[in-house]
Structure 1
Amino acid sequence: MDNIIQKLESGTLVPFIGMGVFENTKAKDGSTIPYDSDSMILALNNGRAMSDRLMYEYSRAAMSLEQRKGREFIVQMTNHIYASKEYDLPFTYEFLKAIKPKYMIDTNVDDSACKIYEDVDHFMITGTSRISAEYDRFIIYKFDAGSKEYKLIEKEELNDSLPILFKPMGCMIPEMNFIISDADFVDWLTEAMGGYALPPFLKEYKKEKSYMFLGTDFSRDTFRMVAHEITLGLKEGLMVTKKDELTKKENKFVNMHNLEVINEDCDTFLKSL
């Protein structure tokens, strides 16, 4: 795919960011930031491994912790993982900050993606789950670069006059709101399949886009299903991964979504651009 930077700026190519972009990131205290499912489980459980069944995927482990210790515990613990540490922006976010993509999807729940747009007005959409008031599984904010504040807006106010940051799994700001446990993902995906996970404007705006998947791991069903729902109607794309060999399900996803696989570390690939 040619002219990647120009396509990111115009919005025809959409970055889709996963946890793997944190692999080379260290906090100022020397500790690591979660960069895959296993490290996320260890962070949620105070550094302790869990049973093999729960170690399969962090959403399963988070569900077990939520059942034992309550919803508030898992929300506060998720926030603590990021809020308690100082760390530099991973290179992927630094690269994108210089470009400020017209539209971006970030499945991480910290505020790194928000820092890409911290000096420009923008819209931010965060996913939400397990609410009974309505079917919509999103909240929309408008960021004012002057006041540095996010303000809640109605879904009808969303448009492409400003950059759009979509954080489907929630964010630690402006409110702690996370899709982290199995129950969260089941609820979000159920409503996503019914068309309630994206604002009406975004459903049309996202059609015929190309996607650049960075730091994503689609070897487990959950995030593969999330990516499929968010990118319905895609044109083509790139998946940057340092894996030598993809699983059968990952290959099926790649072929179904017309993706070109780039066998490189994300940082190496972006630096080459």
Structure 2
Amino acid sequence: MDNILEKLKEGSLVPFLGMGVFKETVAKDGSILPFDSDSMILALNNGRAMSPRLMYEYSRAAMSLEQRKGRDFIVQMTNHIFSSKEYELPSAYTWLSTIKPKYVIDTNMDDSLQKIYSDVEHFLITGVSRITADYDRFVIYKYEPATSNYTKIEKEALSLDLPILFKPMGTTKPEMNFIVSDADFVDWLTEAMGGFALPPILKEFRSDKEYLFMGVDFSKDTFRMVANEITIGLKGGITLLDKEELTKKENKFIKTHNLENLNISINEFIKSNV
């Protein structure tokens, strides 16, 4: 794909970030940040592996832990994983900080994305699940750099005049909302399929866009479904899957969504696009 930087700046190419952007991120205490499903399970379960059935995908493992220890345990543990450690921003975020695209999709649950936009006004949309008051599975905030405060707003007040940060799986800040267990994902995806995962203005804006998938694991069923719902109407795009051989499910997703896989690492890609 040509003119990647130009397309990112104008908004025709939308970054879509997954856990893989944390692959080489080490916290200052020497521990690693979760960068795939297995490492997320270990983080949720105090470093201990779980049964093969539960190790298949972290949402399944999180559901088992939630059933045994309660919903609050999963929420607090997820928050602890991403809020209790100091770490340098992964290269994907530092690179995007120099571009500041008008729309970014980030399925990670930490606040790295908010940090790189902390000097500009923006909107933040975070995913929520298992609520009964409304069908919408999102909360919208407006950020003011002068006060460093996020204020909740109604979806009618959202506009394309400011950058939009979309964190569909939730985030640690400004409020803890996480889509992490099977029950969360089932609820979120069910309402997403009904059209309630994105505000109306974003449903219009996303049409005919290309996407840059960085660190997204398309070998996992859940995140293929999440990506599919969020990018309905896409024109195509790029995936960065640095591996010897793609799985059948990865190949199918790439083909059916008219994507091109670049078999290079995120860091290699960034070095060639600065």
TM-score bin, normalised by smaller chain: over 0.9
1:268 is displaced (CA, Å) by: 1.3
Deviation per CA, 1:91-136, whole angstroms, max 9, x where unpaired? 0000000110110000000000111211000001000000011100
Q: Which whole-Å CA distance do the structure 2 matches of 1:243 and 1:132 have between them? A: 42
Structure 2: segments with no counterpart, 5+ residues: none
Q: 1:52 aligns to what SS in structure 2?
A: coil
Q: Which whole-Å CA distance do the structure 1 matches of 2:246 and 2:145 have between them? A: 41
Number of residues paired by the alignment?
273
Q: Which whole-Å CA distance do the structure 1 matches of 2:271 and 2:121 have between them? A: 27
Structure 1 vs Structure 2: percent identity of aligned residues?
70
Deviation per CA, 1:191-212, whole angstroms, max 9, x where unpaired? 0000000001100011111000
Match of 2:192 in 1: 192
Q: Which whole-Å CA distance do the structure 1 matches of 2:134 and 2:128 have between them? A: 11
Q: 2:188 aligns to what SS in structure 1?
A: helix
Match of 2:169 in 1: 169
1:222 is displaced (CA, Å) by: 0.4
Match of 2:224 in 1: 224
Deviation per CA, 1:208-228, whole angstroms, max 9, x where unpaired? 110000001011110000000
1:249 is displaced (CA, Å) by: 1.1
Partner letter of residue 132 of structure 2?
Answer: S
Q: Does 1:60 align with 2:77?
A: no
Match of 2:265 in 1: 265
* TM-score normalised by L of structure 1: 0.99
Match of 1:113 in 2: 113
Q: Which whole-Å CA distance do the structure 1 matches of 2:263 and 2:20 have between them? A: 14
Q: Which whole-Å CA distance do the structure 2 matches of 1:271 and 1:121 have between them? A: 28
Q: Which whole-Å CA distance do the structure 2 matches of 1:206 and 1:123 have between them? A: 16
Match of 1:18 in 2: 18
Match of 1:252 in 2: 252
Match of 1:72 in 2: 72
Q: Which whole-Å CA distance do the structure 2 matches of 1:74 and 1:202 have between them? A: 30
Q: Over the residues paired in the alignment, what is the CA RMSD in angstroms?
A: 0.6
Deviation per CA, 1:46-94, whole angstroms, max 9, x where unpaired? 0000000000000000000000000000000000001110000000000
Q: Does 1:180 align with 2:180?
A: yes
Partner letter of residue 142 of structure 1?
Answer: K
Q: 1:227 aligns to what SS in structure 2?
A: helix
Q: Which whole-Å CA distance do the structure 2 matches of 1:6 and 1:148 have between them? A: 29
Structure 1: segments with no counterpart, 5+ residues: none
Q: 2:211 aligns to what SS in structure 1?
A: strand
- Aligned 1:31-50 pairs, distance under 5 A: 31-50=31-50
Q: Which whole-Å CA distance do the structure 1 matches of 2:199 and 2:160 have between them? A: 12
1:246 is displaced (CA, Å) by: 1.0
* TM-score normalised by L of structure 2: 0.99
Q: Which whole-Å CA distance do the structure 2 matches of 1:246 and 1:124 have between them? A: 33
- In the TM superposition, structure 1's runs of 4+ consecutive aligned residues that sit over 4 Å from their partners are none
